C-alpha cells in the first residue's frame, strides 16, 4: 500500500458501508420475485421466510462486527478478516472464490439490467447493451471509489423514489385475508420458496469490501452493516404487507412486475429496477478488485495484481482483470448454471466469518479484544445456518463449491506462507489440547489404555535415521514421540546452540511428517540430561512411558550410556535399546522374533512387534513368539501356555517352543541370527550383577545381523 494510503480511507459509515449494503440487498428479487413469494407462501409464511433469512444475515453481521473491531482492518473486507483469524490457507481458499463470485456478479447484474430493458425496447441485442453498460460502470470504477460512491448516492435516490411510488399507490383488494395463508403452486413448498428468496438478503459484505477505503473501519463496518440489515428488513416486511394488501393472489403468482401495477408512478418501478441492478453491479465492480488486490499482497494471487495507483491506491490492474472476467461472462450470455455457485461462494464466506468469530470467542486468546462483543454461540449458529441454507438452496452447487474450496485449501496448504500475524488456529488447538489434557488426567489410567509415547534419544536425528524410523513405526499414529537431544557444557555458551538445535529438530520433524515434539535440553552430562528430559517432557498424563535409545559401541560414551540406562530404569520407565542391523533388508529373513522369558517384558515386546507389523513395510513379515525350556517333559505345557498368550493378546503370531540346554544367548543367536527384527527382554538381576551392564549383551549384539531391541518393561501390557 502506498505511503498515502491512510488518506485514501475517507469514506464514512453512510457512504462507505450503509449505502453499498442497502443497494446490494434491495436488488432484483425485491422487484421481480417478492410478489411471487407472497403469492405462494401467503403473508404470514412470507414474513416467516423473511425473518429466517434475516436472522442468518443478522448473526453474520454480528460476527463481522466483532472481527472488524478486533483488528486494524486493511483492504480485502471479508477475506482480510477470515485470513487474519483462521490463517492464510483458509482465508485464501475462501478469498479466491469470493473474488470470482464478486467478479461474475458484475456480469450477472448487468445482464439483469439489460433483460429489464426488453420490457420497454424489445429486439435489443442484449450482449452489446450489456457490454456498453459494463463499459460505463468500468469508467466510473476506474476514476476511483470516490466517484463510485457519489454515483451510488444518485442510484440510492432513484431507488428511494421508486419505493415511495410503490408505497403511495393505493388499490386494496376486496378481501385482504385471502392472501394471509399459503397456496403453493405445484412443485413448490415453504423451503423451495425460501431458496428462491434467500439471495435477496445477501449483500452484507459489500460495505466490508470497502474496508481499505474507510476512515474508521472498526466503527463504520458494525454500524453500517447492522443498520443496513435493519432498514432492509423493515423495507422487505413492509413490501410484503403492501403486496398482499393490493394484489390478488393470481396476479402475485403470474405478474413479475406486479409492483408496477400498484405504484402511483409506474415508470419509477422500472427506474428502481434499473437502479437496483446497476448499483449491485457497480458495488461488485468496486469491491472485487479490492479483494483481488488484498489476495495479491498476501501472496495468494500474482504480486503484480496488488499494485495500487494514485493517492488513493486504486487497484486498477485488478480492475482490468475483473472487467475482463465480467465481459467474458457477458459474452457467454446465460448465467443460470453459474448463478447458484455464486450464491454458494457468498454463503461460504458468510459461514466462515461466523466460524472465525465463534472460534476466536471460544478460544479466548488474550489478544482477542473486540469492542463489539458477541458470544460464540450466535456466531456458530450463524455458521450452521449458512451451511444449512447452502444445502437447501442447491445441494449440487453446495457440493461443487465445497470441492472447489477444498481443492484450493489443499493447494495453498502445500505452499509455506510466512505471515506477520497470528491466527486463531493455534489458540483453537491450545484450547482443545487443554481440555483434552484435563480430561485425560481426570480419567482412570489402565493398562488397556496404554499408548506408545516414546522419548527418543536421537542426538542429531539425521545421523540416527534408523532409530527415528523405527520410533515412527512403533508410534503408528497412536501415540506421540519426543525427539530429544542433550547438549552438555557451559550454560551460557550452550544457550545459542540449544536454540539452533531445537529449530533444526523441529524442521526435521516437519519435513518427515512425524507425530513428534522436539526437546533439546542443556545439562552437565548426558545421563543428567536424560533424567531431566524424563521429568519435564510432556504434561499431565501425556508423558513419555518408554525411552528408546541407540546401542553404543564407543568405549568413552559407554560409561554415560550405562548410567543413562540405570537412571531410566530407576525412574520406572520402559526402556528399549536399539542396535541397528548389520545387513540390508533383502539379506534378512522377513520375520519378527519375540523371545518370551516372562510376562513383564514379553507383553511390551509383543505389543511393539504388533505395532511394527501394522506398518505396510512390515506387513509381509511373520511374528514368531519363541520360548526356551530345558526339560522336554514341559513341552506340551509350554506350548499350551504360548497359545494362550497369543490368543489372549489377540495378536497374529506363531508359537515356537525350543528345548535346549545351551546358554540363552547362544540359542537366540542360532535361531534369530538373520531375522529382520528381534526383541529380547532385559534381565534386571543380570544387569545389576555386572560392573558394565551392557557387556552382558555385547555377545548378542555382535551375533545378530538384524535389528535388535533389548527391552525392559515396568508394566504388563495385555
What is the structure's pLDDT at 4?
44
Residue 23 has pLDDT above 90, yes or no: no
| Residues 115-165: tens digit of each pLDDT | 777 767 777 777 888 899 999 989 888 886 677 677 778 888 999 999 999
Which pLDDT band, with edges at 50, 70 and 90, does 27 fall under?
confident
| Spatial separation of the C-alpha atoms in residues 102 and 143, rounded to whole Å | 19
568's CB contacts (< 8 A; 6+ apart) are: 530, 534, 547, 549, 575
- Residue range 480-485: average pLDDT? 87
Specify whether the CB–CB gap between 70 and 370 falls below 8 A. yes
What's the mean pLDDT when you consider all of the chain?
81
686's CB contacts (< 8 A; 6+ apart) are: 693, 696
Which pLDDT band, with edges at 50, 70 and 90, does 305 fall under?
confident
- Residue range 372-389: average pLDDT? 90
What is the structure's pLDDT at 708?
93
Predicted TM-score of the model (pTM): 0.64
What is the structure's pLDDT at 303?
80
Question: 3-state class of 627 per DSSP?
Answer: strand
- Looking at CATH, the fold of the domain delimited by 5-414 is given as Amino acid/polyamine transporter I (1.20.1740)
Please determine whether the domains at 447-580 and 582-718 fall in the same fold group of CATH.
Answer: yes
| Residues 574-632: tens digit of each pLDDT | 889 899 998 888 889 999 999 988 666 788 888 889 889 888 888 889 999 999 888 88
Does residue 450 or residue 508 have the better pLDDT?
A: 508
CA neighbor of 115 nearest in space, from 101, 129, 136: 129
What is the structure's pLDDT at 600?
66
Which pLDDT band, with edges at 50, 70 and 90, does 1 fall under?
very low
What is the structure's pLDDT at 439?
65
Q: Give residue limits of the domains in the chain.
A: 5-414, 447-580, 582-718
CA neighbor of 93 nearest in space, from 358, 412, 399: 412
CA gyration radius for the chain?
A: 36
Which pLDDT band, with edges at 50, 70 and 90, does 46 fall under?
very high
What is the structure's pLDDT at 2?
41
Which pLDDT band, with edges at 50, 70 and 90, does 3 fall under?
very low
Share of the chain above pLDDT 70, in %: 84
What is the structure's pLDDT at 126?
78
Does residue 687 or residue 545 have the better pLDDT?
A: 545
| Residues 67-117: tens digit of each pLDDT | 888 776 666 667 777 777 667 777 777 788 878 888 888 887 888 788 777
| Spatial separation of the C-alpha atoms in residues 710 and 569, rounded to whole Å | 13
- Residue range 41-55: average pLDDT? 94
Q: Please state which CATH class domain 582-718 belongs to.
A: alpha beta
Which pLDDT band, with edges at 50, 70 and 90, does 440 fall under?
low
Window from 60-64, 252-256, 308-312 with minimum mean pLDDT: 308-312
Q: Which CATH number fits domain 447-580: 3.40.50.620, 3.40.50.10800, 3.20.20.70, 3.40.50.300?
A: 3.40.50.620
Reading phi first (left if > 0) and then psi (alpha if -120 to 50, else beta), residue 538 is in left
Which pLDDT band, with edges at 50, 70 and 90, does 6 fall under?
very low
| Spatial separation of the C-alpha atoms in residues 243 and 39, rounded to whole Å | 9
Copy the grid coordinates of residue 150: 457519489
Residue 333 has pLDDT above 70, yes or no: no
641's CB contacts (< 8 A; 6+ apart) are: none
Find where cell 432484483 sits.
Answer: 28
What is the structure's pLDDT at 162?
94
| Residues 7-20: tens digit of each pLDDT | 444 688 888 889 88
Amino acid at each position: 500500500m502506498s505511503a498515502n494510503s491512510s488518506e485514501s480511507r475517507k469514506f464514512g459509515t453512510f457512504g462507505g458501508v450503509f449505502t453499498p449494503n442497502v443497494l446490494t440487498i434491495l436488488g432484483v428479487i425485491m422487484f421481480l420475485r417478492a410478489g411471487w413469494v407472497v403469492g405462494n407462501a401467503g403473508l404470514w409464511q412470507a414474513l416467516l421466510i423473511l425473518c429466517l433469512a434475516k436472522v442468518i444475515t443478522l448473526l453474520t453481521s454480528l460476527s463481522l462486527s466483532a472481527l472488524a473491531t478486533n483488528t486494524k482492518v486493511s483492504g480485502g473486507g471479508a477475506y482480510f478478516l477470515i485470513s487474519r483469524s483462521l490463517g492464510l490457507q483458509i482465508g485464501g481458499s475462501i478469498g479466491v472464490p469470493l473474488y470470482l463470485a464478486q467478479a461474475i456478479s458484475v456480469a450477472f447484474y448487468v445482464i439483469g439490467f439489460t433483460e429489464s430493458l426488453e420490457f420497454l425496447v424489445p429486439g435489443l441485442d442484449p450482449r452489446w447493451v450489456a457490454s456498453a453498460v459494463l463499459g460505463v460502470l468500468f469508467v466510473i470504477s476506474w476514476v476511483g471509489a470516490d466517484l463510485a460512491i457519489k454515483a451510488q448516492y444518485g442510484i440510492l435516490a432513484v431507488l428511494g423514489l421508486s419505493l415511495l411510488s410503490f408505497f403511495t399507490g393505493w388499490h386494496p383488494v376486496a378481501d385482504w385475508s385471502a392472501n394471509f395463508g399459503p397456496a403453493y403452486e405445484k412443485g413448490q413448498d415453504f423451503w423451495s420458496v425460501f431458496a428462491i428468496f434467500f439471495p435477496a438478503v445477501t449483500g452484507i459484505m459489500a460495505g466490508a469490501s470497502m474496508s481499505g477505503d474507510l476512515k474508521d473501519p472498526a466503527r463504520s463496518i458494525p454500524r453500517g452493516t447492522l443498520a443496513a440489515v435493519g432498514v432492509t428488513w423493515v423495507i422487505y416486511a413492509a413490501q410484503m404487507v403492501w403486496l398482499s394488501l393490493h394484489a390478488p393472489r393470481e396476479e402475485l403468482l403470474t405478474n413479475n412486475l406486479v409492483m408496477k401495477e400498484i405504484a402511483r408512478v409506474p415508470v419509477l418501478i422500472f427506474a428502481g429496477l434499473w437502479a437496483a441492478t446497476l448499483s449491485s453491479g457497480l458495488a461488485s465492480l468496486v469491491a472485487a478488485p479490492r479483494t483481488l488486490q488484498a489476495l495479491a499482497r498476501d501472496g495468494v494471487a500474482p504480486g503484480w495484481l496488488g499494485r495500487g495507483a494514485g493517492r488513493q491506491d486504486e487497484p486498477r490492474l485488478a480492475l482490468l482483470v475483473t472487467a475482463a472476467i465480467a465481459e467474458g461472462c457477458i459474452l457467454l450470455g446465460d448465467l443460470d448454471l453459474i448463478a447458484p455457485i455464486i450464491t454458494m461462494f457468498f454463503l461460504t464466506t458468510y459461514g466462515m466469518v461466523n466460524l472465525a468469530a465463534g472460534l476466536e470467542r471460544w478460544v479466548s486468546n488474550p489478544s482477542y479484544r473486540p469492542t463489539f462483543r458477541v458470544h460464540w454461540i450466535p456466531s456458530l449458529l450463524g455458521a450452521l445456518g449458512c451451511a444449512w441454507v447452502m444445502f437447501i438452496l442447491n445441494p449440487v452447487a453446495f457440493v461443487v463449491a465445497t470441492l472447489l474450496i477444498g481443492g484450493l485449501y489443499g493447494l495453498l496448504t502445500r505452499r509455506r506462507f510466512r505471515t506477520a500475524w497470528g491466527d486463531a488456529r493455534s489458540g483453537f488447538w491450545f484450547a482443545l489440547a487443554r481440555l483434552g489434557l484435563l480430561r485425560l488426567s481426570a480419567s482412570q489410567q489402565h493398562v488397556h489404555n496404554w499408548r506408545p509415547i516414546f522419548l527418543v534419544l536421537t542426538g542429531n536425528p539425521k545421523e540416527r535415521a534408523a532409530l527415528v524410523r523405527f520410533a515412527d513405526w512403533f508410534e503408528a499414529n497412536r501415540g506421540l514421540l519426543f525427539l530429544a537431544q542433550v547438549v552438555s557444557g557451559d550454560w551460557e555458551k550452550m544457550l545459542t546452540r540449544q536454540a539452533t538445535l531445537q529449530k533444526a529438530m523441529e524442521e526435521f520433524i516437519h519435513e518427515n511428517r512425524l507425530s513428534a515434539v522436539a526437546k533439546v535440553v542443556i545439562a552437565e552430562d548426558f545421563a543428567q540430561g536424560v533424567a531431566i528430559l524424563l521429568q519435564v517432557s510432556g504434561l499431565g498424563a501425556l508423558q513419555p512411558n518408554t525411552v528408546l535409545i541407540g546401542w553404543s559401541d564407543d568405549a568413552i560414551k559407554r560409561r554415560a550410556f550405562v548410567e543413562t540406562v540405570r537412571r531410566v530404569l530407576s525412574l520406572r520407565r520402559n526402556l528399549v535399546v536399539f542396535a541397528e542391523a548389520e545387513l540390508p533388508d533383502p539379506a534378512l529373513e522377513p520375520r519378527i522374533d519375540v523371545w518370551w522369558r516372562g510376562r513383564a517384558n514379553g507383553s511390551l515386546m509383543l505389543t511393539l512387534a504388533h505395532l511394527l507389523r501394522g506398518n505396510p513395510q512390515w506387513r509381509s513379515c511373520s511374528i514368531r513368539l519363541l520360548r526356551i525350556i530345558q526339560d522336554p517333559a514341559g513341552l506340551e505345557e509350554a506350548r499350551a501356555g504360548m497359545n494362550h498368550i497369543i490368543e489372549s493378546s489377540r495378536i497374529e503370531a506363531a508359537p515356537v517352543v525350543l528345548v535346549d540346554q545351551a546358554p540363552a544367548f547362544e540359542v537366540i543367536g542360532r535361531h534369530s541370527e538373520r531375522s529382520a527384527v528381534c526383541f529380547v527382554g532385559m534381565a534386571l538381576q543380570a544387569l545389576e550383577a555386572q560392573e558394565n551392564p551392557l557387556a552382558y549383551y555385547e555377545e548378542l549384539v555382535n551375533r545378530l545381523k538384524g535389528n535388535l531391541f533389548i527391552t525392559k518393561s515396568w508394566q504388563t501390557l495385555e
